[in-house]
């Protein structure tokens, strides 16, 4: 199957607090060398909301965090994941607004966490892959 140009990793309303809500995975993204991520958040009244994008090599492997977007108010952020060579390193949980470059699995999943009660909250992450 050919690579799609744009895939939606999450488009979810955010109201009451959620902790680590996992979403179904986008699968079959083999051969990706660059991934541009755009995260947008809208809403008022809450405290925080962040989404972690995870990837794994196959459905039998472990999810690894590759991008994290944090919001405390409405806004939009982007990040570009590239296949730049990197030294051997251990996996670790990502800190706020950070990425792990070079780890392109075949599956991607969003994990949503929010605190406080948001009015008209909406978290979206779309990916342009090539």
Partner 1 sequence: MDFWSDDGQGARQVSRFIAALDRSVDRYGQDVILRRTVGTANRVSIDCPCRASVRNYDPTQLAGTIQQGDSQVVLSPTDIDRVQWPGPEPIQSPPRATDPRIPRVTDVVVIGGRSRSVVASVPFVVNGELVRVELQVRG
Site for partner 1 in 51-80 (CB under 8 A): 74
Residue 12's Cβ-count burial label (10 Å; 0-12, 13-18, 19+) is middle
Bridge-partner residues for 17, per DSSP? none
If binding is defined by CB under 8 A, does position 9 make contact with partner 1?
Answer: yes
From the list 30, 47, 80, 120, which residue makes contact with partner 1 (rule: CB under 8 A)?
120
Phi-psi sector, 20: left (phi>0), alpha (psi -120 to 50), beta: left
Alpha-carbon distance values, 129 to 15, 17, 118 (Å): 30, 31, 31
Bridge-partner residues for 57, per DSSP? none
If binding is defined by CB under 8 A, does position 105 make contact with partner 1?
Answer: no
Distance in Å, CB of 56 to partner 1, minimum: 14
Tell me which H or E stretch contains 12: strand 6-14
Distance in Å, CB of 103 to partner 1, minimum: 19
Residues 129, 126: Cα–Cα separation, whole Å: 10
Q: Of the two residues 43 and 81, which places its CB atom closer to partner 1 in the complex?
A: 43
If binding is defined by CB under 8 A, does position 32 make contact with partner 1?
Answer: no
Distance in Å, CB of 84 to partner 1, minimum: 27
From the list 25, 35, 52, 79, which residue makes contact with partner 1 (rule: CB under 8 A)?
25
Residues lying near partner 1 in the complex (CB under 8 A) are found at: 1-2, 4-13, 21-28, 40, 42-43, 74, 109-110, 119-122, 124
């Amino acid at each position: 199957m050919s690579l799609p140009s744009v895939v939606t990793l999450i488009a979810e309303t955010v109201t009451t607090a959620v902790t680590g809500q996992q979403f179904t995975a986008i699968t079959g993204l083999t051969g990706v060398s660059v991934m541009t991520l755009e995260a947008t958040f809208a809403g008022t009244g809450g405290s925080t909301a962040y989404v972690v994008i995870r990837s794994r090599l196959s459905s039998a492997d472990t999810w690894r965090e590759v991008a994290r977007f944090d919001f405390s108010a409405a806004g939009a952020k982007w990040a570009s994941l590239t296949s730049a060579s990197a030294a051997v390193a251990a996996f670790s949980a990502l800190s706020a607004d950070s990425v792990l470059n070079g780890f392109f699995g075949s599956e991607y999943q969003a994990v949503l966490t929010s605190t406080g009660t948001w009015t008209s909250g909406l978290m979206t992450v779309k990916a342009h892959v090539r």
